[in-house]
Structure 1
Amino acid sequence: MRAAVVGTGVIGASWAALFLAHGHDVVAADPAPGAEDALREAVAAHRPALERAGLAPDAARLSFTDDPAEAADGADFVQENGPERPDLKDRLFAALDEAAPPATVLASSSSGITPSRIQRACARHPERVLVGHPFNPPHLIPLVEVVPGAATSEEAVRAATEVYASLGRRPVRVRRELPGHLANRLQAALWREAYHLVATGAATVADLDAVIAHGPGLRWALLGPFVNQHLSGGSGGIAHILEHLGPPTEQIWDDLGDPRLNPGLVNAIVTGVAAELDGVDMAALVAERDQLLQLLIAAKSATTTLGGTTP
């Protein structure tokens, strides 16, 4: 397969390394000065992690252009990673739609612009446009949210899902267009309450990080919220939980906060994170995080029920 990776910042470089690691040719495009050198450095930096997963990105299969249309011309799949600006997306997708073969899926990594909005710029084939939103970094985290727009065909959804699964990703179809899709909305709900708890003095930033990292976050890394809740109900499962803990849960919902990011709260969050990480070697922290992520993903894949990429 020939993949076009359009926009080669943090997300685009990670996608490029992943496509290369699975033996695909990659034509990358980015008009920014120095983009090619930065991309090649990033692909090389991702190589050790991919090798730990039994993969090896072949840099010889990577070519570069500053013209997105040139990258899309003849591509079998396009993954776009440009800035979150509707005006820029309009110009970019108009060019991609004009250049790419008619059957080629045009997928955007956008986290904030809906596919229906992006499709408006594609006069030729809006039916092959969708969002394929990864979870950063794409070369490590399996999740990809596949979001069709109003004009997206089922064939395009199927083709994108198959491509992502072939890359070892876990595609999940989003069945209604929403700001932030699914994962970012769930994150935002957690952040909202965490920020509220800091704002009201209920806990420090470090306390809340510890609560998640050493508590529910460990279970959440294995199973989602509904199955975890089901397992908490014993033989009665989630029905038992909802019957007995439903009313107390609603009381908690009613008490959840609605914080605003005013200067005081922003300062409390920033200084709290700085205090938590004081003296920490950030490069070592990131390296250890990535290694443990890979060990966890590999361990889940070896199980019969917790792993796998099948949609």
Structure 2
Amino acid sequence: MKAESSQKVMAVIGCGVIGSGWVARALAAGMQVQAWDPNPEAITGLQNNIDTAWPALVRRGLAEGASRDHLHFSTDLDEVLEGADLVQENAPERLEIKQSLLASIDARVPNHVLIGSSTSGIKPSELQAQCHRAPGRVIVAHPFNPVYLLPLVELVGGQHTDPALMVSARAQYEQLGMRPLIVRREIEGHIADRLMEALWREALHLVNDGVATTEEVDAAIVYGAGLRWSLMGTFLTFHLAGGEGGMRHMLEQFGPALKQPWTRLEAPELTPELIERVASGSEFQAGGRSIATLEARRDRFLGELLEVVERYWPEQEGLGGRI
């Protein structure tokens, strides 16, 4: 189904888990989606992933005119890119694949069309390297799984990117109901993944050293830090930890502890024993429930949690401005 003249068109390139999430989010936002994948059978997985996402999107509220029927799938790249207002690339996380695909897209679409990459770790200047038509409009637009629910998208421009384009990019992703965060400088892994990787490394050490099970590590986040992070993040949480003196007092009181060797900077070796401990622990936590069942449970929770966060978000905006 091709778009009506007034309908925004998003071209989604690659229809795996992340690409499917973009498709579902864009459909729910009332856009026409033209999806491409080199595998003609990818449409089956795409439709299944939309089936998973749609109940949560309906609960969140669909845009006027939103419909799953506004999806067109093809293995023809030219067909999918035709008329696109926004292109989102979701190829495997391999630089040579992304560079080749992005160069092909850059050569095909008009210069004003933004091209976002879902890469979780590659810097935008590397993505732009083989694009010769308008490399500056190729940026990182890194979402978080499930893309159809989590609103954060990290936007990172490269060496060829005009800062004014980032303002335009933010507006385009806001139309998808997202909370764009413009990253000030290029860095591998951007912001959120670097933070999550640090926590992940420490979690693996705790399990590897027999300090805690996977379930106990998760409980420490769910019932402790994670609840606070949902509203305040890391810095504001520590600001409150300082009492009336705020962050300054907190750093004076607890700052010396930062030099104590509590944490490990490198990940532990993934020995067969550690892999078994982590995998079996995760399977025990799942309790025999299927991935689909756990996804549905996660989506219901995230939808309800987002409603709470959004009720408090105006206060957050007043504290820190707009992201």
After TM superposition, the score normalised by the length of structure 1 is 0.93
- Counting aligned pairs with the same residue, the percent is 44
Report the RMSD for the aligned CA atoms in angstroms. Answer: 1.9
Q: Decide which moves more: 213-222 or 32-41.
A: 32-41
Aligned equivalent of 2:24: 17
Q: Deviations over 1:252-310 (max 9, x none)?
A: xx231232223222222112222333344544332222111111111221223247994
- The answer to whether residue 60 in structure 2 is matched with residue 53 in structure 1 is yes
- The answer to whether residue 270 in structure 2 is matched with residue 265 in structure 1 is no
Q: Decide which moves more: 214-223 or 296-305.
A: 296-305
Note the C-alpha offset of 1:245: 0.8
Q: Map of 1:148-187 to 2, 5 A cutoff?
A: 148-187=157-196
Would the aligned equivalents of 1:105 and 1:128 in 2 still touch at CA under 8 Å?
Answer: yes
Q: Decide which moves more: 173-182 or 99-108.
A: 173-182
Letter in 2 for 1:167: L
Distance 2:199 2:126 in 1: 28
2:150 is paired with a residue of what secondary structure? Answer: coil
Letter in 2 for 1:266: I
Q: Map of 1:137-156 to 2, 5 A cutoff?
A: 137-156=146-165
Letter in 1 for 2:274: L
Alpha-carbon distance change, 125 to 37 in structure 1, aligned in 2, over 3 angstroms: same
Aligned equivalent of 2:137: 128
Would the aligned equivalents of 2:30 and 2:62 in 1 still touch at CA under 8 Å?
Answer: no
Alignment gaps of 5+ in structure 2 = 1-7
Would the aligned equivalents of 1:94 and 1:122 in 2 still touch at CA under 8 Å?
Answer: yes
2:231 is paired with a residue of what secondary structure? Answer: coil
Aligned equivalent of 2:107: 98
Distance 1:188 1:110 in 2: 15
Q: Deviations over 1:183-216 (max 9, x none)?
A: 1110110011111111111112211111111111
Would the aligned equivalents of 1:69 and 1:95 in 2 still touch at CA under 8 Å?
Answer: no
Number of residue pairs aligned between Structure 1 and Structure 2: 309
Aligned equivalent of 1:242: 251
Would the aligned equivalents of 2:124 and 2:139 in 1 still touch at CA under 8 Å?
Answer: yes
Would the aligned equivalents of 1:20 and 1:26 in 2 still touch at CA under 8 Å?
Answer: yes
Letter in 1 for 2:18: I
Aligned equivalent of 1:39: 46
Would the aligned equivalents of 1:73 and 1:101 in 2 still touch at CA under 8 Å?
Answer: no
Aligned equivalent of 1:305: 315
Would the aligned equivalents of 2:14 and 2:36 in 1 still touch at CA under 8 Å?
Answer: yes
Distance 2:114 2:142 in 1: 14
**Quick one: which of 255, 268, 273 aligns to 2:262?**
255
Would the aligned equivalents of 1:75 and 1:101 in 2 still touch at CA under 8 Å?
Answer: no
- The answer to whether residue 235 in structure 2 is matched with residue 226 in structure 1 is yes
1:215 is paired with a residue of what secondary structure? Answer: helix
2:11 is paired with a residue of what secondary structure? Answer: strand
Distance 2:288 2:55 in 1: 26
Note the C-alpha offset of 1:18: 1.0
